[in-house]
Homo-oligomer: A and B are copies of this chain.
């Protein structure tokens, strides 16, 4: 008998009809003879509605109270989903994060899971029940409710799979799996059958957020096999695991597994910073203090004992960035700064590029042949990212998809 963890997001249980469809999906897994533990998020817009309501009463509520409030969303989902399964004749039981043994570190709104004591869930599974567990939440050593931050339900599911030593962890989403590029833009994109954790991390860190990066990191650490698939059909999705097997049907060995894009790019450039020791430290400390998540950083060579620094972050962080830069100018005598919000990030991802030199060169050549200007570059072992004008995104995705041999043959 296999142990299966299934995770359903908020949009999958957004209304009674969808809730019933999810229940049928769970029931199928149980009928197939599996022990099934389910992690579910809050229904549809519940979390956003609660946040809006709280803002009306307090624009800056304490995070403890936000966690107290928001954790009710998942508690409602699990109860309703358990009822739905019971109505279909299945034995099911809902469990809060606390009841399911999720111990967290006490950081309200962004807690880390310290441990999962799965005894209760295991007992319910042994008793022939489907266990429906609230994602996104746990309790700290004082019994205070913590949430894991938005999207934390993926991480809950992986943690539960680890605790239960589950055979597979299915992550249900509204897409069929992980694609070589956004299929709404690149018509020849196709679903990747298998992808490594690292590649998934690089893909996930960008636009198409089918999986929270934290959950992938956790899955990698414990070797949990993830199956990202659609809750709307029974197609095989994308398997995320350590060693990706060579697919016989794939005629070519792919160096690049996907091309991703991210429109949420704000580029900030600070010009004429004195070439003094510790300047970069001062700058990024100040940004961290106001909570800006910096992505790419480029420092130019110096001239006249001064240099320029550019970095990117999310467009929604503009206000925080401006606050930080204003503060900086009091202590760091820079010449001026610019903020540009009409850019996008294009990345190619693939574990194969470690052993294949010249991938970056090929990417840049493709861009130059297509008259796409590159404004920033950053590289990791398995990813190369370029910042380009947002109007070039479609062209950039399509020409890279073709150049790296990703185009599906029959589309």
Contacts and interface: CB of A to CB of B under 8 A. Distances in A.
A69 B83 CA distance: 10
Contact of A58 (B50, B83, B144): B83
B72 A68 contact: no
Contacts of A75: 68-69, 71-72, 75
A313 interface: no
Contact of A76 (B20, B50, B62, B145): B50
Nearest to A69: B79
A110 interface: no
A66 interface: yes
Contact of A98 (B50, B78, B143): B143
Contacts of A98: 143
A53 B20 CA distance: 12
A99 B69 contact: no
Contacts of A82: 62, 65, 68
A58 B84 contact: yes
A53 B18 CA distance: 13
A80 B66 CA distance: 8
A56 interface: yes
| Total copies of the chain | 2
Contacts of A86: 58, 61-62, 65
A107 to B, nearest CB: 18
A53 B16 contact: yes
A69 B84 CA distance: 13
A66 B79 contact: yes
Nearest to A57: B84
A65 B94 contact: yes
A301 interface: no
Query: Which residue, of A20, A68, A87, A93, has the highest number of chain B Cβ atoms within 10 A?
Result: A68
A99 B57 contact: no
Given A58-B87, A61-B83, A98-B143, 7 more contacts: A20-B57, A57-B84, A58-B83, A59-B87, A69-B79, A72-B76, A99-B143
A54 interface: yes
A192 to B, nearest CB: 36
A69 to B, nearest CB: 4
A96 to B, nearest CB: 8
Given A16-B53, A99-B143, A143-B98, A68 B78 contact: yes
A50 B80 CA distance: 9
